[in-house]
Every structure is written in C-alpha cells, then in structure tokens.
C-alpha cells in the first residue's frame, strides 16, 4: 500500500510540473502500462481543485463541445482550467492583451448557479487591491455569464504545500502578511471570502500573492457582521459552501457567518504553512467536520519549536472554535503578524516563493 501510494504521489508530482493543458497526455504516457495507477493519478489531479490555472482540464467527450472561438469581443486561445464553479479560458482582446475568462459549466446553468456566478462578479468588481486578482468586466454570451479578469502566471500555494513540507519562516511571513492585507481590504468592503484555502491563494511568477475566487463570497452589512438582520444569504437553507478542512465551525453548521470565519480559515492556512499539514485532517468530509467541531489541533510549539512564539500564538488564536475568542478582524491579525515579524510591512509588500 505504501509503495503504491509512493508511486501515485510521484506520478502526481511529475504531472503537476507540466503545463495544465498537457497533463492528461503526460499521465497517459507515464501510466500506459498500469490502468489502475492512471485512474488513481487522474483522481488525484481532479481532487487538486485549484479553481484557477492549476485545475486539470477535463477530457473532452462527445457530449461536450469545444470552446467557442469568440466570447463577446474576446478571442479564445485555450481552455486552461475547469473547477466546480467554472471553466477558465485564456483569451485575448482586440488589442491582443491577454486575460483569463471564467464561465459556468453548462450543467450548472441554473437559476441558483447564475445567481452565485453573478454575485461573484459583483464581489470581484468592488475589490481593487494588489493582493486580489483584478476584475475586468462581466460579459454575456449565448445566455451564459462570463467574468474577465487579469491573467496570472505562477502556482497556487497548494502546489508549494503538496509534499506536506512546511515553508521556511521568511516565506510564511511573506505569504501570511500579503494574504491578510488582501482579506483586510475585502472585509473593509463588507465581503467575506468563505472558501479561503491554499488552492485559492496564487503566487505569481514575480512572487506577488493574489487571492482568487470570490465565487462564494458573501456580501455582509458590516465588517463585524453583528447586524445580521440585513444579511442576504446566497445559499439554500442547510446548504454549506466552502472546503471542509478550512471551514470555521459556524460555517460548517450552516450558520450566518462574518469576517471571523475568514480569520479561522486564515489560521488553518497559517498552521499548514508552518507544519506542512492541515490542523484538521480526516479521511472524509465527516471526519474533517468532526475534527473542526470537536478537536484541537496539535500544539504548534511542539510541532515547530523554532516558530516565533507570537506567531504560533496568533495561529492558534485564529483557530478558536468560538468566533468571539478569535482576533475579531484581519486588521488585528495584521497587527500581530507585524509584531511577530519584528519589522514594519514594506508598502510594496514582500516577495514570495519565486
């Protein structure tokens, strides 16, 4: 079993080194003599849901049409990703400038799916920050909405954590400070991300960090979230949107959430960068929810004795079960990060993981 897993992991790592559009052909060649291994690696790639450029492109079938040559005024160059809430294409405008364009898969073109997708556009259009992917415009084509955004080259944070190895401390601070700055900006506009995870944190080829995918972002009335009478929910009763192992307890319970849910998810990401592993692991979604609701993560002081004590304390504070016990805003988090770092954040932001 261990040998099998090592072979699968090695094949996955090799596939992830390829350009997204070339991965399927690569693993077919690599695993041509082992159909079971091929199926396992495909499954692992499908689970590697990075929601942007690192999502493996699903194989086209006879039931799925190839992408159109034009979407609005944009010329489609290639399909570069496909995730649960949208396909992503590399496109060019009439002047030849390159952008990323995201649209709903046909199977999700329902009243609810369209509502969520348009909400993403509303959220994205109000966000202007160097650590948030830049929204360009919303276009309609053949009855389907499409979001045009800046095209990014690089990797998601999930790629850098794929071997379950921690980041060095300089990169932990560089990523966490930029991430906190982007979230602080979104929260100031009343927007909660709701699905913060390494796959939604993009590190560009020049080392800057960009927050991706506000597809399940929730517009709230205030940063504190205490005035819940004016909240407009975007989920059906009982439906949970988010990724299990990074989800705050109140979100896992399907309760109304506020910016402190992102503080919890930030704590999960920070813990993983420090240790190489998630604070709330499990074999399936139910086990992960159970850990989030009932278990405390292993002490960072024991796992990473070299971590600055203020940083370990901050990460564990963000992971408190009760939202009232966490840092109440990302501004509080940023303040503690800067104290832990021991230096003032440069206005241009740190460079990371180049």
Residue 229 predicted with pLDDT over 90: no
Q: Look up residue 4 and give its two tokens.
A: 């099998």
Residue 352 predicted with pLDDT over 80: no
**What local confidence, expressed as pLDDT, does residue 70 receive?**
94
When pLDDT is cut at 50, 70 and 90, the band that residue 46 belongs to is low
Sheet bearing 74-83, strands edge to edge: 70-71, 74-83, 86-92, 98-103, 144-150, 135-141
**What local confidence, expressed as pLDDT, does residue 81 receive?**
75
Stronger pLDDT, 43 or 268, i.e. the higher one: 268
pTM tops 0.85, yes or no: no
**What local confidence, expressed as pLDDT, does residue 105 receive?**
63
Q: How many Å is the Cα radius of gyration of the chain?
A: 20
Q: Is 181 helix (H, G, I), strand (E, B) or coil?
A: helix
% of residues, the chain, pLDDT over 70 = 71
* pLDDT mean across residues, the chain: 78
CB 78 within 8 A of CB 89: yes
CB 54 within 8 A of CB 159: yes
Residue 26 predicted with pLDDT over 60: yes
Per residue in 136-165, pLDDT (tens digit) is 888 888 877 788 989 998 889 998 998 888
**What local confidence, expressed as pLDDT, does residue 73 receive?**
95
Residue 202 predicted with pLDDT over 90: yes
Our CA dihedral for 198, 204, 210, 215, rounded to 10 degrees, sits at: -70
When pLDDT is cut at 50, 70 and 90, the band that residue 109 belongs to is low
Stronger pLDDT, 67 or 132, i.e. the higher one: 132
Per residue in 179-192, pLDDT (tens digit) is 999 999 999 988 88
**What local confidence, expressed as pLDDT, does residue 55 receive?**
41
CB within 8 A of 1, min separation 6: which ones? none
**What local confidence, expressed as pLDDT, does residue 50 receive?**
47
Whether 195 is catalytic is yes
CB 77 within 8 A of CB 47: no
Report the alpha-carbon distance of residue 202 to residue 183 in Å, rounded: 14
Per residue in 230-256, pLDDT (tens digit) is 223 333 333 444 567 888 998 887 788
Q: Is the Cα torsion angle 178, 184, 189, 195 positive or negative in sign?
A: positive
Write down the catalytic residue from 50, 195, 258, 262: 195
């Amino acid at each position: 079993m261990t040998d099998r897993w090592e072979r699968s992991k090695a094949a996955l790592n090799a596939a992830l080194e390829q350009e997204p559009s070339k991965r399927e052909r690569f693993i077919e060649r690599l695993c041509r003599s082992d159909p079971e291994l091929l199926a396992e690696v495909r499954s692992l790639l499908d689970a590697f849901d990075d929601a942007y450029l690192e999502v493996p492109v699903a194989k086209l079938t006879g039931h799925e049409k190839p992408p159109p040559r034009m979407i609005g005024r944009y010329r489609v160059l290639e399909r570069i990703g496909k995730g649960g809430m949208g396909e992503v294409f590399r496109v060019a405008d009439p002047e030849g400038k390159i952008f990323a364009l995201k649209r709903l898969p046909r199977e999700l073109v329902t009243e609810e799916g369209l509502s969520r997708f348009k909400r993403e556009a509303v959220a994205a259009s109000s966000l202007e920050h160097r650590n948030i992917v830049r929204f360009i415009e919303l276009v309609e084509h053949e009855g389907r909405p499409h979001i045009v955004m800046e095209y990014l080259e690089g990797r998601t944070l999930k790629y850098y954590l794929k071997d379950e190895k921690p980041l060095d401390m300089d990169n932990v601070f560089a990523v966490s400070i930029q991430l906190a700055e982007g979230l602080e900006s979104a929260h100031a506009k009343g927007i909660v991300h709701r699905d913060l995870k390494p796959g939604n944190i993009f590190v560009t080829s020049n080392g800057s960090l960009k927050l991706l995918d506000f597809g399940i972002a929730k517009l709230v009335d205030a940063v504190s979230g205490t005035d819940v009478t004016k909240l407009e929910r975007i989920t059906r009763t009982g439906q949970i949107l988010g990724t299990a192992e990074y989800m705050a307890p109140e979100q896992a319970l399907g309760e109304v959430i506020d910016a402190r849910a992102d503080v919890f998810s930030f704590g999960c990401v920070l813990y993983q960068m420090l240790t190489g592993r998630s604070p709330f692991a499990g074999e399936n979604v139910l086990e992960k929810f159970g850990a989030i609701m009932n278990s405390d993560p292993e002490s960072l002081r024991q796992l990473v004795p070299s971590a600055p004590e203020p940083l370990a304390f901050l990460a564990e504070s963000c992971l408190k079960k009760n939202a009232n016990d966490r840092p109440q805003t990302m501004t509080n988090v940023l303040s503690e990060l800067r104290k832990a770092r021991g230096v003032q954040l440069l206005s241009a932001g740190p460079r990371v993981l180049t």
